[in-house]
Amino acid sequence: MEPTTETSSPPSVGASAQGDGQSWLSGASGDGAADGALGEWRGSPVEIVGTWADQGDNQTRLYSIAPGGEVADFDGAIDIAPGGLLNGETWAAAADGAYEDRWRESLTRMAELRDGKGTTYIRPFHEFNLGGWDWSVTPADAEDFKAAWARYRAIQQDVFPDAQLVYGVNVTSSGTDLDWRTTWPGDGQADVLGVDTYNGWPTITSEADFEAQLDARGDDGIPIGLNAYSEQAEQWDVPLAVPEWSGRAEMGDEPAYVEGMVDWFAEHAGDGPGQLTYEILFNAPQDDGNFQLYTEDSRMPESARAYVQALQETTEQVEQPAEEPAAATAPSSAGAPDDVHSADNPAPSSATSTSTGRADVDTEALETAAAAPTDGADIDQLVTQLEALLAQLKQRQSADEQR
């Protein structure tokens, strides 16, 4: 799923790997991602942006990261999908080296344009297991694809060794019947396993739905759920990324999906095998805003609010020192706006989070603090604790009213 710009116009569940306490690169693509507006709206900076350069001369001109391009001035990490094959080209020819000159030109220019900036994650032949692309791969193409990938990797290592190569697939192989595990190029040939996934087929409408699909697998055990993808990445000894994800307005406004995704990211964050190293919310205005959370008139306003609140709560959970009692932490005033495009009217968050990222007020602690005997030396500390706990209770009540 991506924009296809041709000219210069113009981010312990199951058995999967658990996070190591690190934060992850949380990003977005599309409107507001690179200029800071989306980061301001959600209450935390966009650390990685997604962009595409997959059509026509864009494969070599790289318009979005070139001077004047949409993400040209973004100094953080990027995920870029440069395509690889054009209309009428074949994997057999690619395996023989027919397109190496173009790939070298693309990667050399990419290295020049990204010099001195954050990590560049390159996703060539993105979603190659999905039908309809010039670079789609069928089972008959498998060996040629692996040979072509090795050629691309060799060029990338030569002209842009600081980049990370992402083996990026669509969550299911619609239109190709490809088991993308059979096209894995082998040890040292890719740095990250990436999966693009959106809410739908089946549509996630509740926390139970989300949990139920995490371990889902298709025919012959091919991964579908995030836990299954994490396990595959761990087996291949690489981290996992989710370069494209969002809800689908056509399938409904389902906040449980975005809450589940953010919670999963936080729980599995890290740079180790199978851990979540980055994710990018797809916020491009395609299909009449079908995927946009951040926009003037989002078709998924409840999901937009849930995204902001869940991201802030999980971020607080990661950042809070383990030895610091949660109840003594002053609550944040940031949250999700009623108007999803505005940052002026934030919704509540909490300094106390459960293991899944949702907030709960420790009312037992409140009662205990209120009943505790004090003397003059303790009074200031007690007042501070009571104020923090009362503020949490008010926030929880406010959140319930907004829902």
Question: b/e string for 5-38 if b means 16 or more Cβ within 10 A?
Answer: beeeeebebeebbbbeeebbbbbbbbbbbbeeeb
Does residue 307 contact residue 293 with C-beta atoms inside 8 Å? yes
In DSSP terms, 27 is beta-bridged to: 280
Among 125, 96, 286, 135, residue whose Cα is nearest residue 190 = 125
Q: Which residue has the tokens 């697998």?
A: 217
Q: Which residues pair with 81 in a beta bridge?
A: 52
| Model confidence, pTM | 0.77
What gap in Å lies between CA 171 and CA 8, rounded to an integer?
Answer: 30
Largest CA distance in the chain: 83
Report d(CA 22, CA 244) in Å as an integer: 21
Which pLDDT score is estimated for 130? 98
The verdict on whether omega for the bond into residue 161 sits within 30 degrees of 0, i.e. cis, is no
Helix axes 301-319, 255-267, angle to 10 degrees: 20
Placement of tokens 């990027």 in the chain: 78
Distance between CA atoms of 190 and 242, rounded to whole angstroms? 15
**CA 173 to the chain's CA centroid:** 20
The answer for residues whose C-beta is within 8 angstroms of residue 78's C-beta and 6 or more apart is: 48, 49, 50, 51, 65, 71, 114, 117, 118, 119, 120, 121
Q: What is the pLDDT of residue 396?
A: 45
18 CB-near residues (< 8 Å, 6+ apart): 12, 267, 268, 275
pLDDT of residue 329: 33
Residue-level pLDDT at 132: 97
Q: State the Cα–Cα distance between residues 232 and 217, nearest whole angstrom.
A: 11
C-alpha–C-alpha distance, residues 358 and 240, integer Å: 24
In CATH, what class is 25-317? Answer: alpha beta
Are 103 and 84 in contact by the 8 Å Cβ rule? The answer is yes
Closest CA to 365 of 335, 329, 401: 329
Domain boundaries, the chain: 25-317, 323-402
SS3 content of the chain, % helix, strand, coil (to 5): 35, 15, 50
User: In the chain, which residues have pLDDT < 70?
Assistant: 1-15, 21, 315, 317-403
SS3 state at 367: helix
* pLDDT for res 19: 82
**Residue 192: count of CB within 10 angstroms of its CB:** 23
